[in-house]
């Protein structure tokens, strides 16, 4: 349709019908499905009435349901406006790839794009028009259960991976039925909830907001994301969905976003529980005024917007503008001509879990695993024939993580399956040993597990957190391995020193005791469909671990917040970190630094950083220079290394971080081979939020280093020049 035709369509709609376009309902009200909903249904209204007017639905299962929903609606809608169908496809639809926090550990934007591309194909075939992805809430507190949905504690990784996902999902044109629109979320700073509790209040300075939390949303919008979802939390006193500073000043005016804003689940209704709206009508007015276009599930807009317009409390132009944004998106997706978009049962059959998709998922599971410790026992030698596979995760199928589809566990390759497929000659004995829930105290299986361990050539000890301990509404105050898993580990490690621990969890955990005693630890996160194949290949050296931590692992919950790019203080703690230093910024009872830092991860080979060179010693406003890092594989097997570049601005008008990631690139090197990795560095990358609220860089020294957080090596310096130098 032309823009003119869309306006004409709008002109013919009643106020109620317009409000209907801004209503999103649960598909479960119209069809039977098994998908989890993350809150209550909206104000009760007859399903028939909703079906006639509603503009979009969320959560449905397959192409058949997608078509049925669309048919049913179009048959009833007097204006024949197709529905938008939305779904949370977060890390794969049927073929599940690793959780986003794990994807961050790959430090590989290309891999992210490959995974997103496979999810796009499966989603389009399923009939999805919009995915509620990417989630780019920078998160620095692992108590928050949703940390698994984000790529990293680092905004640069979230920005780059989020943008890569958007490009791969939306493609060149949304009219292509193979492409799916992205809704970036949760705007803004949802990851900064007080005390790590989900939905909790966020209070951050404008500088913190702009430097840490906003960049990733902005990067995804720049990459073309068509929708954005305000977060549940109150930000500096005002819930995001009614926050004019966020939605008007920054999103629409500063960033020029003209796509669709959709509330989070019931968030319009929650303006009442937040205590900033008197009732649902007031809530509808506040959200509309702030610029929220679609009301997810609450029906507040449908019940009250028309009346609010008639009473003169909401301008009709405002309502029209919101409806037009929704209609334009439908038009861009080509729904007026082809309301099913990509929904296609045959394509589903062909694509879901196809060998090509499984191969990508397996590679991703391998490249996101982080080898935390290895005292020479991994990879297992070929002579290892009798293997004890012990622990509550030994035969677990729920290794997909939050937002995997119901039933995803049916398709998971288990660890025994993976080992048998790779090494049919290995004699495998499995034993659970103990439970994994917080309340589990039964130690009776531990002796038997130790006995089995004692008789094996090698032991794989599979520990972790139950799959439902992380995700939405799943914060924890303790971050230790739940249940008697540490008791199990103690006995098994005593029985057989040739024990490799593998971990399955959705957040950084506190691993102190285990890290001291276990000779090898491989962090697998929730690797998804291909879990078992990836584990087997990694343990036996068919794949070489190359993941680096996208968020540091603390020694204690008491260290939070502990961002790697912490600000300098007036009394920084002197080295060594393991001794308290009187009247410095430190703890009496533990070091300041995490147990494993951001950017850390081992390999079966070793890498030497030989040289760091700058192409120039000065940099003017708007200029660029090149940084070359020479890295060599000094071990005996091929491997991938993530070259990380950090910087520090040692003197500025406001306090700056002690280290900040500037760029990263992954390289593959054969034994003995060296690579020169060249980074182009631009002056803009050194800008920060100045005293007067402008983005500035200041003249003076900048230090560039490589290595990883708190272990920087090979530092070089250059001078940022004052602006006037540039003018001559």
In the complex, the residues that contact ligand BGC under the rule CB under 6 A are 38-39, 58, 88, 132, 185, 264-265, 472
In angstroms, rounded to a whole number, what is the distance separating the alpha carbons of residues 96 and 87? Answer: 15
In angstroms, rounded to a whole number, what is the distance separating the alpha carbons of residues 37 and 26? Answer: 8
- Least separation in angstroms between CB 203 and ligand BGC: 20
Beta carbon nearer to ligand BGC, 229 or 503: 229
- Least separation in angstroms between CB 128 and ligand BGC: 12
Beta carbon nearer to ligand BGC, 264 or 641: 264
- Least separation in angstroms between CB 470 and ligand BGC: 14
> Under a CB-based contact definition with an 8 Å cutoff, are residues 15 and 306 in contact?
yes
Number of other residues whose CB lies within 10 A of the CB of residue 491:
22
> Under a CB-based contact definition with an 8 Å cutoff, are residues 697 and 656 in contact?
no
**Token couple for 15:** 């106020």
According to DSSP, the residues that pair with 503 across neighbouring strands are 463, 523
Q: Where is 500: in which H helix or E strand?
A: strand 499-504
- Least separation in angstroms between CB 298 and ligand BGC: 12
In angstroms, rounded to a whole number, what is the distance separating the alpha carbons of residues 719 and 715? Answer: 14
Four-point Cα dihedral 683, 686, 692, 694, nearest 10: 50
In angstroms, rounded to a whole number, what is the distance separating the alpha carbons of residues 271 and 289? Answer: 13
In angstroms, rounded to a whole number, what is the distance separating the alpha carbons of residues 33 and 362? Answer: 29
Beta carbon nearer to ligand BGC, 143 or 185: 185
Beta carbon nearer to ligand BGC, 435 or 471: 471
N-term to C-term CA, the chain: 53
Beta carbon nearer to ligand BGC, 241 or 538: 241
- Least separation in angstroms between CB 294 and ligand BGC: 12
In angstroms, rounded to a whole number, what is the distance separating the alpha carbons of residues 159 and 112? Answer: 12
Q: Pairing state of beta strands 56-58 and 23-26? A: parallel
In angstroms, rounded to a whole number, what is the distance separating the alpha carbons of residues 613 and 220? Answer: 32
In sign, the C-alpha dihedral spanning 537, 541, 547, 551 is positive
> Under a CB-based contact definition with an 8 Å cutoff, are residues 444 and 488 in contact?
no
> Under a CB-based contact definition with an 8 Å cutoff, are residues 138 and 85 in contact?
no
Phi, psi torsion values for 265, nearest 5 degrees: -55, 110
Phi, psi torsion values for 24, nearest 5 degrees: -115, 130
**Token couple for 259:** 């796509």
Which residues have a catalytic role annotated?
264
Beta carbon nearer to ligand BGC, 135 or 460: 135
Beta carbon nearer to ligand BGC, 39 or 196: 39
User: Residues in the chain, how many?
Assistant: 728
- Least separation in angstroms between CB 296 and ligand BGC: 7
Of 458, 308, 319, 320, nearest to 385 (Cα)? 458
The contacts of residue 53 (CB under 8 Å, 6+ apart) are 16, 17, 19, 20, 21, 23, 77, 302
**Token couple for 242:** 């009614």
- Least separation in angstroms between CB 12 and ligand BGC: 31
In angstroms, rounded to a whole number, what is the distance separating the alpha carbons of residues 167 and 116? Answer: 9
> Under a CB-based contact definition with an 8 Å cutoff, are residues 577 and 592 in contact?
yes
- Least separation in angstroms between CB 636 and ligand BGC: 45
Collapse the DSSP code of 114 into the 3-class scheme (helix H, G, I; strand E, B; otherwise coil) and give the result. helix
- Least separation in angstroms between CB 60 and ligand BGC: 12
- Least separation in angstroms between CB 240 and ligand BGC: 12
Beta carbon nearer to ligand BGC, 264 or 344: 264
3-class secondary structure per residue, 530-556? CHHHHHHHHHCCCCCCCCCCCCCECCC
In angstroms, rounded to a whole number, what is the distance separating the alpha carbons of residues 557 and 545? Answer: 27
Exposure string of 152-170, with b = 16+ CB inside 10 Å and e = fewer, is bbbbbbbbbbbbbbbbbbb
Beta carbon nearer to ligand BGC, 189 or 387: 189
Cα–Cα separations (whole angstroms), residue 404 to 94, 100, 408, 468: 8, 12, 6, 11
- Least separation in angstroms between CB 571 and ligand BGC: 40
Collapse the DSSP code of 84 into the 3-class scheme (helix H, G, I; strand E, B; otherwise coil) and give the result. strand
According to DSSP, the residues that pair with 135 across neighbouring strands are 185
- Least separation in angstroms between CB 24 and ligand BGC: 9
Q: Which residue has the tokens 């560039």?
A: 704
According to DSSP, the residues that pair with 663 across neighbouring strands are 645
- Least separation in angstroms between CB 329 and ligand BGC: 17
Beta carbon nearer to ligand BGC, 403 or 646: 403
Beta carbon nearer to ligand BGC, 229 or 629: 229
Of 622, 655, 693, nearest to 250 (Cα)? 693
| DSSP tag of 34 | -
């Amino acid at each position: 349709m032309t823009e003119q035709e869309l306006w004409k369509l709008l002109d013919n709609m009643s106020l109620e019908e317009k409000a209907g376009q801004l209503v999103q309902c649960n598909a479960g009200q119209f069809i039977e499905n098994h998908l989890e909903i993350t809150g209550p249904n909206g104000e009760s209204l007859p399903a028939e009435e909703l079906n006639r007017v509603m503009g979009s639905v969320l959560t449905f299962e397959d192409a058949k349901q997608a078509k049925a929903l669309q048919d049913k609606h179009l048959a009833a809608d007097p204006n024949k406006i197709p529905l938008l169908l939305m779904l949370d496809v977060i890390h794969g639809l049927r073929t599940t790839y690793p959780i986003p926090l794990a994807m961050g550990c790959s430090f590989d934007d290309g891999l992210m794009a490959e995974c997103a591309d496979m999810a796009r194909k499966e989603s389009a075939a399923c009939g999805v028009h919009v995915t509620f992805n990417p989630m780019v809430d920078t998160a620095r507190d692992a108590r928050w259960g949703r940390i698994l949905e984000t790529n990293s504690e680092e905004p640069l990784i979230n920005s780059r991976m989020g943008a890569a996902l958007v490009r791969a999902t939306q493609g060149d044109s949304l009219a292509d039925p193979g492409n799916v629109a992205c809704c970036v979320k949760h705007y803004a700073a949802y990851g900064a909830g007080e005390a790590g509790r989900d939905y909790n209040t966020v209070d951050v300075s404008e500088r913190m907001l702009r430097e840490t939390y906003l960049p990733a949303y902005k990067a995804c919008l720049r990459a073309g994301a068509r929708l954005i979802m305000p977060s549940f939390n109150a930000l500096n006193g005002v819930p995001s969905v009614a926050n004019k500073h966020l939605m008007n000043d920054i999103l629409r005016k500063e960033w020029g976003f003209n796509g669709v804003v959709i509330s989070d689940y019931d968030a319009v209704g929650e303006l009442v529980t937040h205590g900033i709206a008197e009732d649902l009508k007031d809530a509808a007015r506040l959200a509309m005024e702030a610029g929220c276009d679609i009301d997810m599930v609450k029906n507040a807009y449908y019940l009250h917007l028309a009346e609010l317009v008639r009473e003169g409390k909401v301008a009709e132009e405002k309502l029209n503008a919101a409806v037009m944004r929704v209609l334009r998106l439908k038009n861009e997706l080509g729904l007026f001509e082809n309301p099913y978009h990509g929904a296609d049962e045959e394509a589903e059959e062909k694509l879901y879990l196809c060998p090509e998709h499984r191969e990508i998922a397996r590679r991703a599971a391998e490249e996101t695993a982080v080898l935390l410790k290895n005292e020479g026992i991994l990879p297992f030698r070929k002579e290892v024939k009798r293997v004890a596979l012990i622990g509550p995760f030994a035969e677990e199928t729920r290794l997909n993580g939050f937002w995997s589809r119901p039933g995803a566990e049916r398709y998971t390759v288990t660890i025994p399956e993976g080992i048998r497929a790779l090494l049919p000659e290995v004699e495998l004995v499995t034993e659970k040993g103990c439970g994994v829930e917080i309340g589990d105290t039964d130690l009776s299986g531990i002796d038997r597990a130790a006995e089995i361990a004692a008789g094996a050539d090698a032991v794989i000890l599979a520990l972790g957190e139950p799959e439902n301990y992380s995700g939405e509404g799943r914060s924890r105050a303790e971050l230790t391995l739940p249940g008697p898993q540490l008791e199990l580990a103690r006995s098994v490690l005593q029985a057989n020193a040739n024990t490799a621990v593998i971990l399955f969890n959705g957040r950084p955990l506190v691993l102190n005791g285990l890290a001291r005693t276990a000779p090898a630890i491989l962090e697998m996160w929730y690797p998804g469909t291909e879990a078992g194949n990836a584990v087997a290949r990694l343990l036996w050296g068919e794949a070489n671990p190359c993941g680096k931590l996208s968020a540091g692992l603390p020694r204690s919950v008491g260290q939070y917040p502990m961002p790697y790019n912490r600000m300098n203080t007036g009394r920084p703690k002197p080295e060594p970190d393991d001794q308290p230093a009187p009247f410095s910024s430190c703890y009496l009872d533990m070091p300041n630094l995490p147990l494993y830092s951001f950017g850390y991860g081992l390999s079966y080979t070793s890498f030497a950083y030989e040289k760091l060179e700058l192409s120039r010693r000065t940099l003017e406003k708007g200029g660029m220079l090149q940084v070359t890092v020479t890295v060599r594989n000094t071990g005996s097997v091929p491997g991938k290394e993530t070259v990380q570049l950090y910087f520090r601005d040692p003197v500025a008008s406001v306090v700056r971080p002690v280290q900040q990631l500037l760029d990263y690139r992954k390289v593959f090197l054969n034994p003995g081979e060296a690579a020169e990795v060249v980074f182009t560095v631009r002056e803009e990358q050194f800008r920060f939020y100045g005293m007067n609220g402008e983005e500035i860089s200041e003249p003076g020294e900048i230090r560039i280093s490589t290595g990883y957080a708190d272990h920087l090596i090979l530092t070089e310096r250059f001078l940022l020049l004052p602006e006037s130098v540039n003018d001559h």
